[in-house]
């Protein structure tokens, strides 16, 4: 559609400079549609963008002039075509998903490293406090460990090697189907708790802090009960699934703290904008947490409840640390690459 057909849309005569802008933009749209925007030279794209901005300004003037309002619709239509060409929406392809997993998610993890470190510190200090409290008064383990019914159970774990051994060997005779059901239940529960820990950062991170402290107390209480017993066996029982599980809680806690910080310090763009940006930033953290908890659920069901010796279990702990170290190595590389791209 050239300038003549455009003018025929209304009996009024459109000023030449309006028509020239329309014709130039129409020509750029036609060339870009024919060649594909990626094949158009950079100089022509810059000219295209300039014409697009001028046409937007002219559209406002057309709307303000009653005599020229008949030209508003064709201008709008052309601007829509130009907008689609200049600012295309990315399609959700498999390649884009892999780019998100390989580049965006690790970069987000490294960007949030200080919040993750704070989450680790809160959980770690709480576990030390919980350990000291239970060591001084073993009945406090009733509060920290929900699986113990009363002080009698606590006393048995503290003073009876037989009760400790029974706990460490529980579930070994379960069938594979029972272990599978147990694994799924663990995954669902742990993912739910960790996502709550993350998303409740929207409430100024107060629930997140509570869950991190509660997790720390629980982690410190059980070693305190085994302090004079089979502490080595307890480590072999806890650590294989504890490494990915606690890592997920700490990462989720770090994400929750970041959300809470965005609420406490909204910035010049407003609280809502800052919160949405923070929520988008921790989306990758949620994905990593879910993967870690699936892994932890499988280990807790099929490794913890197995007849494997303690040495093999500690070897599994070492192997479990390798993917976490590689993840943060990749996070550092991806973050540096993203910073370099932004500078360029």
> Average pLDDT, stretch 216-244?
91
> What is the chain's length?
344
Tokens 């993890």 correspond to: 109
Cα–Cα distance measured from residue 296 to residue 303, given in angstroms and rounded to the nearest whole number: 10
**pLDDT at residue 3 in the model:** 45
> Average pLDDT, stretch 21-32?
86
Contact 224, 131 (CB under 8 A): yes
Q: Measured on CA atoms in the order 314, 320, 325, 328, is the torsion positive or negative?
A: negative
**pLDDT at residue 35 in the model:** 76
The band of 11, judged by pLDDT with boundaries at 50, 70 and 90, is: very low
Count of CA atoms in the C-beta half-sphere (13 A) of 23 = 13
**pLDDT at residue 147 in the model:** 59
> Average pLDDT, stretch 78-98?
78
User: Between these two residues, 91 and 84, which has the higher pLDDT value?
Assistant: 84
**pLDDT at residue 71 in the model:** 78
Contact 261, 115 (CB under 8 A): yes
First to last CA, the chain: 40
**pLDDT at residue 12 in the model:** 45
> Average pLDDT, stretch 107-124?
96
The H-or-E segment that residue 162 falls in is: helix 161-168
**pLDDT at residue 49 in the model:** 85
**pLDDT at residue 10 in the model:** 46
**pLDDT at residue 149 in the model:** 52
- pLDDT above 70: residue 97: yes
Sequence-separated (6 or more) residues with CB below 8 Å from residue 45: 32, 37, 86
- pLDDT above 60: residue 342: yes
Domain boundaries, the chain: 12-86, 95-343
* CA nearest neighbour of 57 among 24, 79, 30: 79
**pLDDT at residue 194 in the model:** 93
**pLDDT at residue 153 in the model:** 61
Model pLDDT for residues 148-194, shown as the tens digit of each residue: 555 556 666 666 778 788 888 888 888 999 999 999 999 999 999 99
Contact 288, 195 (CB under 8 A): no
> Average pLDDT, stretch 223-242?
90
**pLDDT at residue 300 in the model:** 93
Model pLDDT for residues 332-341, shown as the tens digit of each residue: 999 998 888 7
Using CA atoms in the order 293, 295, 300, 303, what is the torsion angle rounded to 10 degrees? -170
Kindly state the percentage of the chain with pLDDT values over 70.
87
Structural tokens at position 22: 């329309």
**pLDDT at residue 163 in the model:** 78
**pLDDT at residue 160 in the model:** 75
Model pLDDT for residues 254-312, shown as the tens digit of each residue: 999 999 998 887 655 455 567 888 888 898 999 999 999 999 999 999 999 999 999 99
Contact 123, 194 (CB under 8 A): no
Beta strands in 127-233 (DSSP E): none
């Amino acid at each position: 559609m050239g300038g003549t057909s455009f003018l025929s849309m209304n009996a009024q005569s459109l000023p030449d400079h309006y028509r020239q802008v329309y014709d130039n933009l129409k020509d750029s749209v036609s060339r870009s549609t024919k060649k594909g925007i990626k094949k158009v030279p950079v100089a022509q794209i810059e000219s295209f963008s300039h014409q697009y901005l001028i046409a937007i300004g002219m559209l406002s003037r057309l709307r303000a002039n009653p005599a020229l309002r008949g030209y508003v619709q064709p201008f709008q239509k052309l601007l829509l075509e130009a907008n689609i060409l200049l600012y295309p929406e990315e399609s959700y392809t498999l390649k884009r998903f892999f780019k998100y997993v390989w580049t965006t998610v690790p970069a987000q993890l490294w960007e949030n490293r200080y919040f993750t470190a704070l989450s680790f510190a809160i959980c770690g200090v709480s576990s030390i406090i919980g350990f000291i409290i239970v060591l001084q008064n073993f009945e406090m383990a009733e509060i920290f460990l929900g699986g113990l019914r009363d002080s009698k159970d606590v006393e048995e774990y503290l003073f009876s090697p037989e009760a400790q051994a029974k706990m460490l060997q529980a579930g070994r005779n379960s069938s594979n189907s029972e272990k599978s059901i147990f694994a799924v239940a663990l995954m669902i529960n742990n993912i739910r708790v960790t996502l709550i820990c993350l998303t409740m950062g929207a409430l100024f991170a107060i629930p997140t802090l509570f869950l991190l402290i509660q997790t720390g107390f629980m982690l410190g209480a059980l070693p305190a009960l085994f302090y004079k017993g089979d502490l080595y066996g307890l480590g072999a029982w806890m650590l294989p699934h504890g490494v990915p599980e606690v890592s997920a809680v700490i990462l989720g806690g770090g994400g929750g703290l970041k959300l809470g910080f965005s609420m406490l310090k909204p910035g010049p763009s407003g609280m809502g904008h800052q919160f949405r940006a923070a929520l988008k930033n921790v989306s990758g953290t949620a994905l990593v947490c879910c993967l870690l908890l699936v892994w932890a659920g499988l280990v807790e069901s099929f490794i913890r409840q197995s007849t494997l010796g303690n040495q093999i279990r500690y070897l599994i702990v070492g192997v479990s640390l390798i993917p976490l170290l590689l993840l943060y190595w990749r996070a550092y590389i991806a973050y540096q690459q993203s910073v370099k791209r932004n500078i360029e």
